[in-house]
């Protein structure tokens, strides 16, 4: 299983960051509906799936890092 993070959406394409740091452009129609920037996407058995649990954990980690930077 491969993992990607949605870096940005440009028109009808999504730019995904691979686990190794490479960037990939894909048609939005190949991805799950309603994806957003920052979502974690898994590729398995020739299909892309939104990984809601990992997306939520990643966003929480980023939120905690941001809070720790701006604490007095």
Domain ranges of the chain: 1-66
Residue 50 bridge partners (DSSP): 41
Tens of pLDDT, residues 3-60: 999 999 999 999 999 999 999 999 999 999 999 999 999 999 999 999 999 999 999 9
pTM attached to this predicted model = 0.85
pLDDT at 61 over 90: yes
Burial class (CB in 10 A: 0-12, 13-18, 19+), 6: buried
Alpha carbon 70 to its chain's center: 25
Fold of 1-66: OB fold (Dihydrolipoamide Acetyltransferase, E2P) (2.40.50)
Cβ neighbors of 23 (< 8 A, separation 6 or more) are: 7, 15, 16, 17
């Amino acid at each position: 299983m491969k993992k990607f993070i949605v870096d940005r959406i440009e028109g009808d394409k999504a730019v995904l960051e691979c686990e190794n740091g490479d960037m990939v452009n894909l048609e939005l129609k190949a991805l799950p509906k309603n994806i957003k920037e920052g979502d974690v996407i898994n590729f398995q058995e020739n299909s892309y799936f939104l990984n809601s649990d990992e997306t939520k954990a990643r966003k929480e980690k980023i939120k905690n890092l941001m809070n720790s930077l701006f604490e007095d």
